Amino acid sequence: MKLNTQPKLELLQALRAIACVAVVFFHTDYQPGFGASGVNIFFVLSGVIMAMLLESESSPVRFIKKRFIRIIPLYWITTSVAAVVTWLYPHLRSSGNTGIGWEYIFSLMFIPYKAQNGNIVPLLGPGWSINYEMVFYVSCAVGLWMSRGRPVLTTTLIVISWWYFSKFSTTVAANFYHRPVVLFFIAGINLWLVNKYFKLRLRNKAAILSMLVLCTFLAYSEWFYNQHRQGNALTLVTYYFFPVFIVYLGLVAESAFQETSLSLKKVFIQIGDASYAIYLTHLFIIHFFALLSRKIHLNSNGIILASVSVLTSIIFGLIVHRFFDEPLQKKLKLFTK
């Protein structure tokens, strides 16, 4: 029987924090396009974490219960808040969602649907990526159930299969799940295997350098993609390779990072721990400051407003995580034993 032990990956949590802040900054629209690859990094990280969990878990039922308990409660609550807000304030319906009826039910059930503006997006904007995560979790559970000692490989084949064959359907769901973003999750699973069998490790001093490299590559990748959107070969390499390479650097520098005493290390880890709460709530904060800026005639695309929005989103997400999501998770975990 497998032992359900999951090591704390501190550098990956720090990287999750960087990706989270990048996504929040992207949604401020201060520099259009900058920060978008934060979601891609999240998917790669998700693949790595799922592969790690699959190797430490023996029960597909327990696995899926843990993942559902981790994801669903806060998502349902924030989606319900978004439904009420868009119902009370129709001018905030950027996607055309009304906030009531079948759109609300479909959002809660993680069913992709086409909004009134033509985009496939749930009531809570960031929820589109959660739809993918839920399918990934189900795929992992099925892979764990079907496998004979190789759950990671089985899950990889399952994800590749539904991603590939979905292109032969014309339904909204098939169109949604055939997007290239799925490749980042597949890449994350394979990164875990590469890291497991080819144990390259960076030394202690290299951990600090690796963090700087992570940030540099992220910034460069965003700048390059923002400047060259024609879809040429270099753009594709930048868009697909850098998020994967950044996470791989995080894996190989993990042990060294745990031995360092960086002054901001705890801050990054705390933000990484709260990244899910920040991700689900940050649009509420950004929209609030956008509305406030119009009231007081402040430049809605200025660096001051963007910085205040990002900082407040992080603080608010940390509060939600610390005083609501974390205590709730501790209580719900009793149902997974």
Question: For the chain, what percent of residues have pLDDT higher than 70?
Answer: 81
**Residue 272 falls within a domain, yes or no?**
yes
| Residue 4 placed within a domain | no
- Does residue 314 form part of some domain? yes
DSSP category for residue 114? B
Lowest mean pLDDT among 108-117, 138-147, 179-188: 108-117
User: Count of domains in the chain?
Assistant: 1
Residue 132 is part of which domain span? 10-336
Within a domain: 79: yes
Confidence of residue 205 (pLDDT cuts 50, 70, 90): low
Structural domain contains residue 56: yes
Task: Look at residue 281 and tell me if it is in a domain.
Answer: yes
Kindly report which listed range (71-80, 198-207, 287-296, 309-318) carries the lowest average pLDDT score.
Answer: 198-207
User: What does the DSSP 8-state code read for residue 149?
Assistant: S
pLDDT of 301 > 90? The answer is no
CA nearest to 43, candidates 138, 146, 128, 167:
128
Task: Tell me the two tokens of residue 242.
Answer: 């850098």
Burial of 83 (0-12, 13-18, 19+ CB in 10 A): buried
DSSP letter string over 23-58?
HHHHHHTSSTTTTTHHHHHHHHHHHHHHHHHHTT--
Q: Do the domain assignments include residue 2?
A: no
Q: Is residue 328 in a domain? A: yes
Confidence check: pLDDT of 1 > 50: no
CB neighbour list of residue 252: distance below 8 Å, 6 or more residues apart: 195, 200, 201, 202, 210
pLDDT in tens, 218-237: 666 666 666 655 555 666 66
Q: Are 70 and 54 in contact (CB under 8 A)?
A: no
